[in-house]
Amino acid sequence: MPGQEVSLRETYGKTLVELGKENSDIVVLDADLSRSTMTCFFAREFPNRFFDCGIAEQNMVGIAAGLAASGKIPFASTFAVFVLGRCFDQIRMSIAQPGFNVKLVATHCGISVGEDGASHQSIEDLSLVGSLPGFTVIVPADAIETAQAVRVAAATRGPFYIRLPRPKLPLVYNEDYRFNLGKAVTMRSGKRATIMAIGTMVTAAVEAANNLAREGIDCRVLNMPTLKPVDEVSVIKAATETGAIVTAEEHLEHGGLGSIIARVVARHRPVPMEMVAIKDTYAQSGKPAELLQRYGLTAKDIEQAVREVIKRKEW
Amino acid sequence: MLLSEMGNSLPKASADNVSAEAFSSPVAETRKLSVKEMEAIAKRLRRHIISMTGRAGSGHPGGSLSAVEIVTALYFWVLKHKPSDSCWSDRDRFILSKGHAAPLLYATLAECGYFPVDELTSLRRFNTRLQGHTDCLLTPGVEMTAGTLGQGLSFAIGAALAGRLDSRKYRVYVLLGDGECDEGQVWEGAMAAAHFKLDNLVVIVDNNGQQIDGWNREVMNLEPFAKKWQAFGWRVIEVDGHDLAQLTQAFDRAKLVKGQPVAIIAHTIKGKGVSFMENNPDFHGKAPNAEEVEIALKELE
């Protein structure tokens, strides 16, 4: 039920097992982090179709490409900071250029990794993977969306990147939710401004909208689980109907959700925007909540951004 | 293991081994030509490489010429493949990791009948199927998009694992440059292939001793090279990479190895066959000009 905290990683691991039972072409790779990414569930169930590549992410990415080229559907997992940080060239040439059917599922994204500190906080990954032609990029907001996004990725040809956080997240959906690839999801309707959020920030966006409603500021909230290709229709509609946009993401301002939305808005329906994101800096060790507060990624920050953006509205 | 240590039980490549059928059928699974016939093909491939890069005005003749016999032996002795059906699922895979040797692969594929030989003149031109570095989406018979070095072995491991999972009999061959082995990913792959006991995988290293900035031993020493592969768990066979008889025997020998991957270290000469290109790193990534093309083609008559 909504509000209950559930691990997205565990859901990913369990979904892989289900997929493995349904389709013998599903294979899974990891780089010595299977007990953190939760691919260990698949490894236990299907040891012959699981390949632990050791602490060698570049090799893992290349092996995944070779498996895909021979008809397998590889899911390759490690922490977000490793797969994009260490393997950009391998992902670019061995997967993106030939368009191979590889699913990269990266965990421990953003600063909510917490105590491990800046080296382990992936805040550039969406910018990097989003720059690669042909990649589909998904950032699920809860466990229910994760399970469905993983299934959609398995069933859809082409390279996918799915970004998952370390902490459990409250459910924002019921079991009857249906994830539609490439479609934004309206979490709340409203007219004064639109808040667009991804992943860990969706709950904060809804909370912010509820608080703002009490001030008489009526906000639309959109979850944007498919970051690429982005739902341009919903973005343009939001710009046209609400006249102001705030984006919220656990990622650098540069190259993430905010940048993607700004590109659509600037071209089709220019309206004032604010971006709740990490501002050109690296973070540090700390509890997730402390870090989210320090780097401006809370419901309060979203509320403030909305108050600012509506001042700049032309109508 | 050195070739000299091998027994004499292996079939020698000779005209006797070539069936009439292998010549007549365009979809022959394996064409086993004689050494003499392969030598003639090797010469044709060298002429193509010179003409193609000369006409394109750019490209990588040096590392293409050094691997001519290796690739000739593969396509005309070793590989099960069907030029008329490049996606045949049981085909042996040849993965060119050193993607800059694309002219050699294109010339070979054309000679096999994957596409017309005439098309070779389009190398590197706008809208061509023959890109500067290999592109598996465009060129029939090209398995892997390559060009940035060090990635082919990992890809080959994936193909070999897939074959084993599906109980297919195909084998996977991957050609690396020796300079390419500076890349750390190669050794990640070397460790993994041995760990996974991939005896359906063969690495061939075009060991021409040179890289762009000069001799390997001066730029970045690889030695003891064979011992490195052995230490990583590979069966090593060293051959003269311009001797087709040695190469075919090495490939046949590799098929008999069980439980571990095989690395064939083929000692070659960069720019082989053209006097002014041999051991000359200037021709790593520089095409011959019109005059040089003329001289080279004369030498290759």
Q: What is the CATH number of the domain that holds A42?
A: 3.40.50.970
Chain B residue nearest residue A99, CA to CA: B137
Of B156, B188, B195, the CB nearest to A66: B156
Q: Which domain holds residue A67?
A: 5-170
CB contact under 8 Å between A93 and B135, yes or no, is: no
Of A54, A65, A98, the CB nearest to B158: A65
Chain B 254-273, residues with CB within 8 Å of chain A CB atoms: none
Q: Is A273 on the interface with B (CB under 8 A)?
A: no
Q: What is the CA radius of gyration of chain A?
A: 19
Determine, yes or no, domain membership for B26: no
How many percent of chain A have pLDDT more than 90?
98
CB contact under 8 Å between A27 and B165, yes or no, is: yes
pLDDT at residue B62, as a whole number = 96
pLDDT at residue B5, as a whole number = 39
One domain for residues A89 and A195: no
Buried b (16+ CB within 10 A) or exposed e, B143-153: bbbbbebbbbb
One domain for residues A14 and A39: yes
Q: For residue range A205-261, what is the model confidence (pLDDT) as tens digits?
A: 999 999 999 999 999 999 999 999 999 999 999 999 999 999 999 999 999 999 999
Determine, yes or no, domain membership for A175: no
Is A215 part of the annotated catalytic residue set?
Answer: no
Q: Is B146 on the interface with A (CB under 8 A)?
A: yes
Task: Tell me the nearest-neighbour CA distance from B196 into chain A, angstroms.
Answer: 9
One domain for residues A243 and A158: no
Q: Is A87 on the interface with B (CB under 8 A)?
A: no
Q: How large is the average pLDDT for residues A17-40?
A: 98
Contacts A94 to B, Cβ<8 Å: 144-145, 151, 154-155
In the listed set A170, A204, A239, which residue is the last one of a domain according to the structure? A170
Strand partners, A252: A278
Q: Is B154 on the interface with A (CB under 8 A)?
A: yes
CB contact under 8 Å between B192 and A58, yes or no, is: no
pLDDT at residue B28, as a whole number = 55
Q: For residue range B31-40, what is the model confidence (pLDDT) as tens digits?
A: 789 999 999 9
> Is residue A185 scored above 60 in pLDDT?
yes
> Is residue B82 scored above 60 in pLDDT?
yes
Q: Is A64 on the interface with B (CB under 8 A)?
A: yes
Contacts A72 to B, Cβ<8 Å: 158, 162, 165
> Is residue B156 scored above 50 in pLDDT?
yes
N- to C-terminal Cα separation, chain A: 39
Q: Provide the domain count of chain A.
A: 2
One domain for residues A166 and A233: no
Q: What is the mean pLDDT of chain B?
A: 92
Determine, yes or no, domain membership for A129: yes
Contact B273, B46 (CB under 8 A): yes
Q: Provide the domain count of chain B.
A: 1
CATH number of the domain bearing residue B198: 3.40.50.970
CB contact under 8 Å between B159 and A61, yes or no, is: no
Q: What is the mean pLDDT of chain A?
A: 97
CB contact under 8 Å between A94 and B135, yes or no, is: no
β-pairing, A5-6 vs A169-170, is: antiparallel
One domain for residues A164 and A192: no
One domain for residues A117 and A208: no
3 state DSSP class of B174: strand
How many percent of chain A have pLDDT more than 70?
100
Q: Is B141 on the interface with A (CB under 8 A)?
A: no
How many percent of chain B have pLDDT more than 70?
90
CB contact under 8 Å between A66 and B192, yes or no, is: no
Determine, yes or no, domain membership for B25: no
Contacts B147 to A, Cβ<8 Å: 93
Contacts B137 to A, Cβ<8 Å: 97-99
Q: For residue range B50-68, what is the model confidence (pLDDT) as tens digits?
A: 999 999 999 999 999 999 9
CATH number of the domain bearing residue A247: 3.40.50.920
Q: Which of A10, A22, A57, A250 is catalytic?
A: A57
Locate B112 and state its tokens.
């096999």
Of A64, A89, A97, the CB nearest to B158: A64
Give me the DSSP letters along B132-145. SS--TTTSTT----
At position A254, the amino acid (one-letter code) is H
One domain for residues A165 and A196: no
Give me the DSSP letters along A205-218. HHHHHHHHHHTT--
One domain for residues A70 and A157: yes
Determine, yes or no, domain membership for B27: no
Residue A32 vs residues A12, A56, A58, A110, A215: alpha-carbon distances, Å: 17, 8, 13, 20, 49
CA dihedral A157, B95, B151, B255 (to 10 degrees): 110
pLDDT at residue B29, as a whole number = 66
Q: Which domain holds residue B285?
A: 3-17+33-299
Contact B270, B61 (CB under 8 A): no
Cα B121 from Cα B101, distance rounded (Å): 16
